[in-house]
Amino acid sequence: MNGPLSREQIEKMDAYWRAANYLSVGQIYLKENPLLERPVTLDDVKPRLLGHWGTTSGLNFIYTHLNRLIAEHDLNMIYIIGPGHGGPGILAHTYLEGSYSEIYPAIEQNRDGMKRLFRQFSWPYGVPSHVAPETPGSIHEGGELGYSLLHAYGAAFDNPGLIVACIVGDGEAETGPCATSWHSNKFLNAAKDGAVLPILHLNGYKIANPTVLARISQEELESLFRGYGYKPHYLEGYEPFEMHQKMAATLDEMIAEIHAIQKRAREAGDTERPRWPMLILRTPKGWTGPKVVDGQPVENTWRSHQVPFAELREKPEHLKILEEWMKSYRPEELFDVNGKFKSELAALAPKGQRRMGMNAHANGGLLLEPLRLPAFRDYAVDVKKHGRPDSEATRILGSFLRDVMKLNLDKQNFRVFGPDETASNRLEALYEVTGKAWEATTLPTDEDLSVDGRVMEVLSEHMCEGWLEGYLLTGRHGWFSCYEAFVHIIDAMFNQHAKWLKTTRDIPWRKPIASLNYLLTSHVWRQDHNGFSHQDPGFIDHIANKKADVVRIYLPPDTNTLLSVADHCLRSRQYVNLIIAGKQPAPNWLDIESAVRHCTTGLGIWEWAGNDDGNPDVVMACAGDVPTLETLAAVSLLREQIPDLRIRVVNVVDLMALQPISEHPHGLADEDFDALFTVDKPVIFAFHGYPTLIHRLTYRRRNHFNIHVRGYVEEGTTTTPFDMTVLNRLDRFQLALDVVTRVPRLKPLADRAVQRFTEIMQRHKLYVSEYGEDLPEVRNWKWSPS
């Protein structure tokens, strides 16, 4: 068969593929006898067989061909493996190309090294079964399916010399995030970004079922991907020699198309959205594996998904099948007597950093350059009196982010992501220096769209998150703003990224990457025009589940604290930073220097707001902008009505400071916590989120018994801002009443206070129902120092 490969090349490539398959099966099954120098016995076999074969031979085939492509065309390429459960294949390949032994010298290129390679796989304290952070060249774990293509595009943005080969499982392609991620091609700029080379791995099956894409007609399949804007190349087969030739020819054609597209965009300035090539590769699941086991077909069925057969102890014939299967790859042709991969085959792999296991883009921290940041103090609100003036915190942050963008335009290493909300979240100052990426059609009525925009807007939280992760993992910086209620859509993606960060902390060759920064604005307390569906502060709880070395949660109470927090987060590495801040006009409490000090300690007494003289009757604590406002309003009510009541106001910006220092590096030592919150006085804590979280964080503190938390209790509707706090019993009157009922010496006042509270609530309800806005005394309330 004619094509780019000579007979000899095909034979060598086939041998390379066989070697990877051999090593993959060995990892799944064997702990001894790696070269099959004696008949396989039960003692050679692992006691627990854990791994996935079905996808692996196909992945191995693809990797072998990508190697040729890289070497032939001198490509700068990384891989993303959607079906990350094909870990044995990628481990095998990075071992064959030498990168594995360079990074992990104990896994040598000889019999002992091969034995260790086999034994460590899916072994307690060995290496994971997936293409994990431990795997050289990986930026994608693939355990949770759906995000491969998004990571690939994120990696390709602003990397004009890079090609990201992305293998998408046909089962993975059924997931929501994957389905939408094909649209990433409407956001990729052929001149300034790199290319993504998607390969749909159509092996027909998932764990236990056929896949949808494998069981629709060729015409439907073609139309689907043409409809997504790609040029599908289609390749189907079983016979290795024929497939090698066809695969090489197809990949050559695709690379030529990619280069032609880039040339048109880069040299001729063509800005029309190109039809990028993609490959649909239809091969049998479990290709080259056992065909029939116990009378059941295995190759080309879902039965090959994990270990195609087990029960080696119970069924001696299975041992025979294993041996025959491994020998079918003819290891004696692949490895020398010492177990070293034969040099004429090893020579097929790309060299040095061109090897996919060694490409620096897949170890983004190596390429990371710090952002150039403007002086955040220059954006500060001038607060001469506590509580004045009002400002929209995120709008001012928008000016800061605009200048972060501006200062780094030449480096092309900062992007802002949002699901159609950047302007709604009041960050639109960004558009003064860059546009919104958009490669699809534009109309004269559109605003701020541009083919090389650096604000990434698409109505898919999955896409924003996945792109940003891919962008960060390859050594760049980003910012993600999102409505608080809807960020839950990417809860699971956050989990996976946090796991990646946690694991990579302990992998010395992985260098730290920039933190993932979330700004949640349009938050629960100010969803006046949207209502109950938009009210959910639970993302904080979700984040707080993760290990202390990975997550940070900030609730800046005003604009200046938000600026200080944002600057800190953009400098930080290897965290997920969650910032929650409002976008509505709201009072400013701290001048910039006080704000910086407050953020540095994470929490502190606001002396100016209280009057406790070191010996409070009550502590009024608050975290979040609206709870801070309500707390201060409650304080002013109380100080007016009960002037001799000694109140201490504690504001918390860094939620993790509440935890014991043993739990979190930001945690307060017990003595310091006690000094702030006392050991025996009532604490009325007004919190942005669900109250239980504060209890979770403080349950070990001495005064926990006295901590009474008000927060969101899942009451909401389309109503006034103040009524939201009333519905959830976080309002100033409730907080004041809480103080009266909890401070022992105020007991005699309690009945009267309850009565007054009831009256004011009635007045409030009648007023908002009648006038559609809050009582004037609430609306116009200002902090006035007594």
Ligand X SMILES: Cc1ncc(C[n+]2csc(CCOP(=O)(O)OP(=O)(O)O)c2C)c(N)n1
SS (H, E, C) 433-449: CCCEECCCCCCCCCCCE
What, of Mg ion, ligand X, none, does residue 54 touch, CB below 5 to 8 Å by kind? ligand X
Q: Residue 153: which residues within 8 A CB-CB, separation 6 or more?
A: 164, 181, 184, 187, 188, 196, 466, 467, 470
Q: Residue 667: which residues within 8 A CB-CB, separation 6 or more?
A: 548, 656, 657, 658, 659, 660, 661
Assess 159 for contact with ligand X (CB under 6 A): no
Residue 661: burial class (beta carbons within 10 Å; 0-12, 13-18, 19+): middle
Q: Rg (Cα) of the chain, in Å, rounded?
A: 30
Residue span 251-270 as binding mask against Mg ion, x where in contact by CB under 5 A, dash where not: --------------------
Looking at beta carbons, which residue is closest to ligand X?
169
What, of ligand X, Mg ion, none, does residue 84 touch, CB below 5 to 8 Å by kind? none
Structure tokens at 436: 């919104």
Assess 113 for contact with ligand X (CB under 6 A): no
Cβ count near 785 (within 10 Å): 10
Assess 108 for contact with Mg ion (CB under 5 A): no
Assess 304 for contact with ligand X (CB under 6 A): no
Tell how strand 277-282 and strand 231-236 pair up: parallel
In the complex, minimum distance from the CB of residue 298 to Mg ion, in angstroms, rounded to a whole number: 15
Residue 613: burial class (beta carbons within 10 Å; 0-12, 13-18, 19+): exposed
In the complex, minimum distance from the CB of residue 148 to ligand X, in angstroms, rounded to a whole number: 9
Q: Which of 201, 233, 639, 664 binds ligand X (CB under 6 A)?
A: 201
What, of ligand X, Mg ion, none, does residue 85 touch, CB below 5 to 8 Å by kind? ligand X
In the complex, minimum distance from the CB of residue 23 to ligand X, in angstroms, rounded to a whole number: 18
In the complex, minimum distance from the CB of residue 752 to ligand X, in angstroms, rounded to a whole number: 58
Binding segment for ligand X (CB under 6 A), chosen from 205-213, 232-240, 369-377, 465-473, is 205-213
In the complex, minimum distance from the CB of residue 668 to ligand X, in angstroms, rounded to a whole number: 38
Binding segment for Mg ion (CB under 5 A), chosen from 146-154, 168-176, 400-408, 540-548, is 168-176
Q: Which of 113, 133, 171, 232 binds Mg ion (CB under 5 A)?
A: 171
Q: Which of 26, 51, 160, 169 binds ligand X (CB under 6 A)?
A: 169
Q: Which of 68, 85, 355, 436 binds ligand X (CB under 6 A)?
A: 85
Whose Cβ is closer to ligand X: residue 129's or residue 636's? 129
Assess 462 for contact with ligand X (CB under 6 A): no
Structure tokens at 650: 């504690």
Whose Cβ is closer to ligand X: residue 212's or residue 292's? 212
d(C-alpha 638, C-alpha 632), whole Å: 10
Nearest to 230 by CA among 343, 149, 302: 149
In the complex, minimum distance from the CB of residue 56 to ligand X, in angstroms, rounded to a whole number: 8
Give the up-direction half-sphere exposure of residue 276: CA atoms within 13 A in the CB hemisphere.
26
Assess 172 for contact with ligand X (CB under 6 A): yes
Q: Which of 83, 284, 289, 308 binds ligand X (CB under 6 A)?
A: 83
- Cα angle vertex 227, ends 423, 140, to 5°? 65
Whose Cβ is closer to Mg ion: residue 180's or residue 203's? 203
d(C-alpha 481, C-alpha 461), whole Å: 10
d(C-alpha 713, C-alpha 726), whole Å: 11
Whose Cβ is closer to ligand X: residue 145's or residue 190's? 145
Assess 203 for contact with Mg ion (CB under 5 A): yes
Assess 669 for contact with ligand X (CB under 6 A): no
Cα dist from 705 to 21, 616, 678, 698, 731, whole Å: 61, 17, 12, 10, 22
Whose Cβ is closer to Mg ion: residue 207's or residue 669's? 207
What, of ligand X, Mg ion, none, does residue 421 touch, CB below 5 to 8 Å by kind? none
d(C-alpha 566, C-alpha 556), whole Å: 10
Q: CB–CB of 150/466 below 8 Å?
A: yes
Nearest to 452 by CA among 437, 431, 472, 465: 437
Nearest to 712 by CA among 483, 558, 541, 589: 541
What, of Mg ion, ligand X, none, does residue 144 touch, CB below 5 to 8 Å by kind? ligand X
In the complex, minimum distance from the CB of residue 53 to ligand X, in angstroms, rounded to a whole number: 9
Nearest to 88 by CA among 125, 43, 120: 120
Q: CB–CB of 193/160 below 8 Å?
A: yes
Please provide residue 47's backbone torsions phi and psi, each rounded to the nearest 5 degrees: -70, -30
Within residues 502-531, the interface with ligand X by CB under 6 A covers none
Q: CB–CB of 96/52 below 8 Å?
A: no
d(C-alpha 75, C-alpha 68), whole Å: 10
What, of Mg ion, ligand X, none, does residue 681 touch, CB below 5 to 8 Å by kind? none
d(C-alpha 618, C-alpha 677), whole Å: 9
Assess 93 for contact with ligand X (CB under 6 A): no
Assess 122 for contact with ligand X (CB under 6 A): no
d(C-alpha 170, C-alpha 175), whole Å: 10
- Provide the angle, in degrees to the nearest 10, between the axes of the packed helices 559-571 and 393-407: 30
Q: Which of 12, 206, 303, 497 binds ligand X (CB under 6 A)?
A: 206
Collapsing DSSP to helix, strand or coil, 314 comes out as coil
Assess 170 for contact with Mg ion (CB under 5 A): yes
In the complex, minimum distance from the CB of residue 399 to Mg ion, in angstroms, rounded to a whole number: 48
Collapsing DSSP to helix, strand or coil, 722 comes out as helix
Whose Cβ is closer to ligand X: residue 203's or residue 703's? 203
Structure tokens at 260: 């032609």
Whose Cβ is closer to Mg ion: residue 171's or residue 357's? 171
Whose Cβ is closer to ligand X: residue 3's or residue 143's? 143
Number of residues near ligand X (by CB under 6 A): 21
In the complex, minimum distance from the CB of residue 214 to Mg ion, in angstroms, rounded to a whole number: 8
In the complex, minimum distance from the CB of residue 84 to Mg ion, in angstroms, rounded to a whole number: 13
Assess 129 for contact with ligand X (CB under 6 A): no
Assess 88 for contact with ligand X (CB under 6 A): no
Whose Cβ is closer to ligand X: residue 136's or residue 204's? 204
Binding segment for ligand X (CB under 6 A), chosen from 138-146, 328-336, 479-487, 608-616, is 138-146
Within residues 227-286, the interface with ligand X by CB under 6 A covers 285
- Cα angle vertex 330, ends 324, 331, to 5°? 105
Binding segment for ligand X (CB under 6 A), chosen from 165-173, 261-269, 388-396, 457-465, is 165-173
Binding segment for ligand X (CB under 6 A), chosen from 163-171, 436-444, 639-647, 701-709, is 163-171
Supply the DSSP string of 627-696, one letter for each residue. HHHHHHHHHHHHHHH-TT--EEEEEESBGGGGSBTTT-TTPBPHHHHHHHH-SSS-EEEEESS-THHHHH
Nearest to 418 by CA among 520, 305, 333: 520
Assess 172 for contact with Mg ion (CB under 5 A): no
Binding segment for Mg ion (CB under 5 A), chosen from 21-29, 203-211, 596-604, 625-633, is 203-211
Assess 146 for contact with Mg ion (CB under 5 A): no
Tell how strand 516-521 and strand 477-483 pair up: parallel
Q: Which of 146, 277, 682, 721 binds ligand X (CB under 6 A)?
A: 146
In the complex, minimum distance from the CB of residue 208 to ligand X, in angstroms, rounded to a whole number: 8
In the complex, minimum distance from the CB of residue 278 to ligand X, in angstroms, rounded to a whole number: 16
d(C-alpha 461, C-alpha 482), whole Å: 8
The residues of the shown chain that bind ligand X, judged by CB under 6 A, are: 54-55, 83, 85, 143-146, 169-172, 175, 201, 203, 205-207, 211, 285, 305
The residues of the shown chain that bind Mg ion, judged by CB under 5 A, are: 169-171, 203
